[in-house]
Structure 1
Amino acid sequence: MTQHTQYDPSAIRAFLADNPKLRARDAADAMGISEAQLVAARIGQGATRIAAHPDLIVPAAERLGEVMALTRVGACVHEKVGTYGNYHSGEHAAMTLTEEIDLRIFPSHWVHAYAVETKSEAEQATRRSLQIFDAAGDAVHKIHLRAGSNHDLWDGIVAELALDDQSEGQEVAPRTPTEAAKARPDKVDVLRAEWAKLTDTHQFLRLCSKLKMNRLGAYRIAGAPFVRALRPSAANAMLQAVQAAGIEVMIFVGNRGCIQIHNGKVETLKPMGPWQNIMDPGFNLHLRLDKVAEVWAVEKPTQRGPAVSVEAFDAEGGIIFQVFGLGKEGRDSRAEWTRIVEALPIAESVDA
């Protein structure tokens, strides 16, 4: 487990004052603390500790009108502009589903939350956001207000969500490391037999759990026709091919507390250094290509036909993204998407 360095809140504020252009995630990493600790150092000075449960935060977000929803993992940031709505509560899993903002939420990981205001001298404006973190202080979801958001409701919403404890600083738990690939080669025949019987993609993780494997471990041993190992470069090649074909896809990026989904085309790609960036109206994706260690082409049978995906993982075995062809006419895939996946470069070898 990763233990965070303990810093005095005044030292954190001094560091931020000396490094105003650093993004919050980068500033926290530079100080060896969690991002929640970074934010909590500003309580009373632009940050308010608020209730973290999605049953309270999501309905508040609905009232804010058009906002930007942000969910990320270490190697990828997923940003969607839209309005929150159609919220479905759940003890273990919740969801919000509108045309623009599509989230799967896991409430047990919504542990710390803050309403944050930051003055931007360059833009002569105040940036406002609701930021949610897990027990270790890592961000699971953020809601950023935009120029057209209902800023007049902000103060009232913050007052409603504010907790009694407004002391500066935040205690966090040790960070749980990413689970490495976990396979059971002695169960590969069972895995393949049960995989062939799937009728819904959601059954796959239950199958892995039953066999005491995880997603990446199962991929490493399943073999054709279920999976094909691709080169890391396939992640970028896939995005370029989707852009060129003009087809609609579903792009999933998620952490322990939230999965965010884009449904639509990829129109504008802008590479910058190690980053590949989708910069479309209403949707941005920022992908660190140098952090992609494994890519898999995956096919799962469903009642609506095969669900074909491209899935990328980092060097620790954490999933970075999943991309599916957006199904049409009651089917789970499209011929154009399948052709793109079949043409992606195959990896030379993969360790089980």
Structure 2
Amino acid sequence: MANLTPEDIRTLRGENPKMRDRDFADQNGLNEAELLAAYSSIDATRIEAHPDRIIGAAQLLGEVMALTRNASCVHEKIGVYDNYHSGGHACMVLTPEIDLRIFPSHWRHGFLVEKETDAGMRRSLQVFDAAGDAVHKIFLRNDEHEQTWEELKSSLAVKDQSQVLKVEPRAPVEAAKSDPAKLSILRKEWTRMTDTHQFMRLTSKLKMNRLGAYRIVGAPFVRALRPEAINQMLHKLQDSETEVMVFVGNRGCIQIHNGLIDTLRPMGPWQNVMDPGFNLHLRLDHVAEVWAVEKPTQRGIAVSVEAFDNKGMLILQVFGVGKEGNDHRPAWGKLVETLDGLPEEVLS
């Protein structure tokens, strides 16, 4: 729906109070940031969105729930924000529970939100990109820091508390980009990598992207898996003691879980990990491509399983935990070998 006034938005929201914010926004031709802006000076306060300010505030709020998502996967971790490293291009939060990679240029709109629920008042810090899509959210878990919260409403608030938010058009997902003429260079340079972070620089130099490179590089670097393999992987992890790193992100933030996968609870198209301190909600019907990937590093081969949607968007990545004294990479590599691959004729 176009040209909705803030009053229109609040009226429609009042008629659908139980619907999740993202679902309500999608249904009414909005985005989440526009929805929240309609409640500015009512249930929401517009605030500075830079991660230095947001994470600085989060560090004062004790144990919270951190949420990062994309269109197909929601990643939730409970913990305390600490060990923050600021930076112009990228920032980090590095704790055993809250592990984030932050890209400040996409932190454009921020809100402190207060929402009355059946369980009582729910308070959160929410950050959105230029298009008004959610980048990162932080939910308070108790009332112990209510006074700090009130102080943040004053210290973080911006002068503009308008209920109308100007957003930019949503950038389209970059489709798979390959250059078969450079395949031999791709394979040669792939074998020379010493760190997984070098991969993006390599593909950029060759005018390719992640999915495009996977589609052409072939064995022994990648193996195409059935889309169902992502759910198969979760079940195999549930049955094992293999610790993994689960990466879920968007343009502005990547959130990482380190540990086991224990409790799975499917519901409709969603597969849900419901573990103490970690929840994952994955739309299995959005998974269009899955790849098992091997990249050389100084500490041996890094094996990942990576899922993409039908537009080429990266939904999530899973690696084996390889910490000193707690190396699950061999067990993870063996588990990945058992996942169902696509027949060669499907790929040709």
The TM-score with structure 2 as length reference comes to 0.97
Letter in 1 for 2:30: I
User: Which residues of structure 2 form unaligned runs of 5+?
Assistant: none
Alpha carbons of structure 1 residues 331 and 214: separation in structure 2 relative to 1, 3 Å: farther
What's the offset of the Cα at 1:152?
2.5
Q: Deviations over 1:207-249 (max 9, x none)?
A: 0000000000000001000000000000000011111012110
**What's the counterpart of residue 101 of structure 2?**
104
Partner of 2:246: 251
Contact conserved, 2:79 with 2:97, CA < 8 A, in 1? yes
Pair 298,231 (structure 1): closer, same or farther in 2 beyond 3 Å: same
Aligned equivalents of 1:187, 1:178: Cα separation in 2:
23
- Correspondence for 1:216: 211
- In structure 2, what is the Cα distance between the partners aligned to 1:148 and 1:283? 21
Q: 1:187 aligns with which of 182, 185, 190?
A: 182
- The question of whether the paired residues in 2 share the 8 Å contact of 1:324 and 1:333 is answered with no
Counterpart in the other structure of 1:60: 57
Does structure 1 retain, via aligned residues, the 8 Å contact 2:244–2:328?
Answer: no
Cα contact 2:243–2:328 (8 A) shared by 1: no
Which has the larger displacement, 5-14 or 276-285?
5-14
Aligned residues: 347
- Compute the RMSD of aligned alpha carbons: 1.4
Matched, 1:113 2:105: no
CA distance in 2, matches of 1:149, 1:216: 46
Ranges of 4+ aligned residues in structure 1 off by more than 4 Å: 330-333, 349-352
Q: % of aligned pairs identical?
A: 63
- Alignment match of 1:289 (pick from 259, 263, 284): 284
Q: Partner amino acid for 1:214?
A: N
For residues 183 and 320 of structure 2, what CA distance do their matches in structure 1 show?
Answer: 27
Q: How far apart, in 2, do the equivalents of 1:190 and 1:331 lie?
A: 35
- Match for residue 69 of structure 2 among 60, 63, 72: 72
* CA distances 1:101-127 after superposition (whole Å, capped 9, x unpaired): 00000000000010000112x22x111
Alignment-mate amino acid for residue 273 of structure 2 = I
Post-superposition shift, 1:340?
0.7
Residue deviations 1:91-146 (CA, integer Å, cap 9, x gap) = 010001111000000000000010000112x22x1110000000000000000111
The change in CA–CA distance for 1:190 and 1:350 in structure 2 (over 3 A counts) is farther
How far does residue 328 in structure 1 lie from its aligned partner after superposition?
Answer: 3.9
1:134 pairs, out of 129, 136, 160, with 129
Q: Normalization by structure 1: what TM-score?
A: 0.96
| Cα distance in 1 between the residues matched to 2:101 and 2:3 | 32
1:9-31 superposed Cα distances (whole Å, 9 cap, x missing partner): 11100011000010000000010
Return the alpha-carbon distance in structure 2 between the equivalents of residues 174 and 34 of structure 1: 11
Query: C-alpha distance in 2, partners of 1:311/1:350?
Result: 18
Contact 1:304–1:331 under 8 Å retained in 2: no
The partner residue of 1:157 within 152, 156, 170 is 152
> Do 2:245 and 2:320's aligned partners in 1 also have CA atoms closer than 8 Å?
yes
User: Greater shift after overlay, 331-340 or 251-260?
Assistant: 331-340
Unaligned runs of 5+ in 1: none
Displacement of 1:151: 2.3
CA distance in 2, matches of 1:328, 1:85: 20
1:85 paired with 2:78, answer no
Counterpart residue identity of residue 174, structure 1: P
Post-superposition shift, 1:167? 1.4
In the other structure, the counterpart of 1:240 is 235
**TM-aligned CA distance change 1:106 to 1:43, over 3 Å:** same
Question: What secondary structure is seen at the aligned counterpart in 1 of 2:265?
Answer: coil
Residue number among 309, 312, 329 corresponding to 2:324 in the alignment: 329
Say whether the 8 Å CA contact 2:82–2:93 is kept in structure 1.
yes
CA distance in 2, matches of 1:93, 1:221: 30
